[in-house]
Amino acid sequence: MSETTDNTTSRRKFLKDTGRVAGAAALVGTAATHVYAGESNTIHLALVGCGGRGTGAAGQAMSVKNGPTKLIAMADVFEDRLARSHRGLSKRFSKTMDVPKERQFIGFDAYRKAMDLLNPGDVVLLTTPPAFRWVQFTYAIERGLNVFMEKPVAVDGPTCRRMFALGEQAKKKNLKVAVGLMCRHNEARQELHERIRDGQIGDILELRAYRMAGPTGSAATGPNPHPGEMSELMYQIRRFHGFLWASGGAYSDFLIHNIDESCWMKDAWPIKADGSGGRQYRGDMIDQNFDHYSVEYTFADGTKLHLRGRTIAGCYNKFASFAHGTKGSAVISTAAHVPAKSRIYNTQNMTKDHLRWAFPQPELNPYQVEWDDLVNAIRADQPYNEVKRGTEAALVTAMGRLAAHSGKVITYDETLNYDRELAPDVDKLTLASASPLQAGSDGKYPVPMPGLIGRREY
């Protein structure tokens, strides 16, 4: 469940070494010493990115049972989004959050101001669009902070390489880092994984994964030309699921879970991918996503993972992952992310009369369990670093997306070593900056064109 580290520096040492902590606080301002008075046992939290997922993650962070946590700072580039998140959290967690107006920060440098209020060993939640993940993770490491970051952690080869390196830096500082691929914290999938490793379905021959539902991301809210008072940059960040530079698009941001849990059952990552997709039904939708994707991943031993994604209203919905082996088959997940309802069948016919094992219901919520696991690791000073695995999942997801968008067979190594970075100067953005992507004269954005544009993405 986590990567190991040779560094044994503990959080207790961080707290005990008051001289070093005081020195760090002096460099970043005096607010930290005021906030921490009399609360040495409390893990303080800062939320960077106050959208729906960030708000949910903050709620889970304040719901852990293994010792006190408190939210003390919030940051976003949108004031209304931060305000809405603050109101919602305040109603539910009035005793475990203390974020007055002076600790609510707006702007592209807001993440720094929020992190500066934490002491080494506390936790920052990085739930902004993925393009900003490496920038904010870099500063968290500098500040000696434990991290929870949402997936995907990167969207292209250059940012994946950067995240691999940052993950190693975090290990050397004994920082605990969780990545929001919560399916691996689901107890049903964990037991299924062990049973597959024990050979209960034999050798895996094929994996299948599906996320076919209605419109998601920017498509869910329909065409919406940005109002005059919102800049191009802010509009694209507001609707980041629709833009490749900001999130990897709907493919990377949503399909990564099914890809990750399927590869986990194989205990391997694919070495190449080829795929297809298109925009038949998007009409005047102002974004860069396809309506549907079909990608075939190939593992080193020739095993295939077949992935299908679709975001078209009025069609058959399917949100599940499956494994097929020489001795039977398995349901990895069958009804979105929660509950997984994992089970094993003696044959390829997944019917009740062939059922061999099913995980008993109900299941614990993996969104909460991933936070319980992180806080347990912090308090017990156990090695805990999910960056390598999270980056590998992001890289394999980007590989499939790039294959579908280019119409080419793309390998793992090509994806990792590809030099095109979708947002090369994201660390320099300000509220006055131009967007990394510009609309054409018709007001529409460039979209992938398989077979015509080669391997380029916008």
Per-residue pLDDT of 14-36, as tens digits, reads 333 333 333 333 333 333 333 32
Assign residue 342 a region (left: φ > 0; alpha: ψ between -120 and 50; beta: otherwise): beta
Domain 11-183+369-385: CATH superfamily is: NAD(P)-binding Rossmann-like Domain (3.40.50.720)
Q: Convert the pLDDT of each residue in 426-435 to its tens digit.
A: 999 999 999 9
Distance between start and end Cα atoms, the chain: 34
Is the predicted pLDDT of residue 364 greater than 90, yes or no? yes
Residue 335 pLDDT: 80
The band of 439, judged by pLDDT with boundaries at 50, 70 and 90, is confident
pLDDT at 1 over 80: no
pLDDT reading at 342 higher than 50: yes
pLDDT of residue 13: 38
Structure confidence at residue 182 (pLDDT): 97
Q: Give me the percent of the chain exceeding a pLDDT of 90.
A: 80
Pairwise CA distance, residues 359 & 368, whole Å: 19
* Average pLDDT, integer, range 331-346: 94
- Dist CA 27 CA 442 (whole Å): 49
Of 443 and 430, more confident? 430
pLDDT for 4 equals 34
Provide the whole-model pTM.
0.89
CA distances from 274 to 49, 108, 364 (A): 34, 37, 36
**Tokens standing for residue 369:** 């369990």
* Tens-place pLDDT, residues 67-118: 999 999 999 999 999 999 999 999 999 999 999 999 999 999 999 999 999 9
Pair of tokens at residue 376: 């347990």
Tell me the per-residue pLDDT of 270-315, one tens digit each, with 9 for 90 and over: 999 999 999 987 766 778 999 999 999 999 999 999 999 999 989 9
Q: What is the CATH number of domain 186-365+395-419?
A: 3.30.360.10
**221: pLDDT strictly greater than 90:** no
How high is the pLDDT of residue 31? 33
For the segment 306-326, the average pLDDT, to the nearest whole number, is: 96
| pLDDT score for 26 | 33
| Predicted confidence (pLDDT) at residue 222 exceeds the cutoff of 70 | no
Residue 60 CB neighbour total at 10 angstroms: 19
Question: In whole numbers, what is the pLDDT of the chain averaged over residues?
Answer: 89
Question: For position 255, what pLDDT does the model report?
Answer: 97
C-alpha span between 411 and 405 (Å, rounded): 14
pLDDT tier at 343, thresholds 50, 70, 90:
very high
Q: Please indicate whether residue 419 or residue 27 has the higher confidence score (pLDDT).
A: 419
Confidence of residue 425 (pLDDT cuts 50, 70, 90): very high
pLDDT surpasses 60 at 217: yes
pLDDT of residue 8: 32
* Alpha helix ranges (H) inside 381-424: 387-406, 412-417
Asked whether the beta carbons of 245 and 423 are under 8 A apart, the reply is yes
Q: Is the peptide bond before 152 cis (omega within 30 degrees of 0)?
A: yes
Q: 23 exposed, middle or buried (CB, 10 Å; 0-12, 13-18, 19+)?
A: exposed
Q: What's the pLDDT at 229?
A: 72
* C-beta of residue 306 within 8 angstroms of C-beta of residue 296: yes
The answer, yes or no, to whether residue 5 has pLDDT greater than 60, is no
Distance of CA 435 to the CA centre of its chain: 23
What number is the average pLDDT over the span 358-370? 97
What is the number of H-type helices and E-type strands within the chain? 15, 15
Sign of the torsion angle spanned by Cα atoms 413, 249, 189, 47: positive
Coil, strand or helix: which one is 64? coil
pLDDT band at 230 (very low <50, low <70, confident <90, very high): confident
Per-domain residue ranges of the chain: 11-183+369-385, 186-365+395-419
The pLDDT tens digits for 379-395 are 999 999 999 999 999 99
Quick one: pLDDT at residue 220? 58
CA 217, 154, 56, 226 torsion-angle sign: negative
pLDDT at residue 3 greater than cutoff 90: no
- Give the pLDDT score at 453: 67
pLDDT, position 455: 64
pLDDT in tens, 113-155: 999 999 999 999 999 999 999 999 999 999 999 999 999 999 9
Q: 174 or 35: whose pLDDT is higher? A: 174
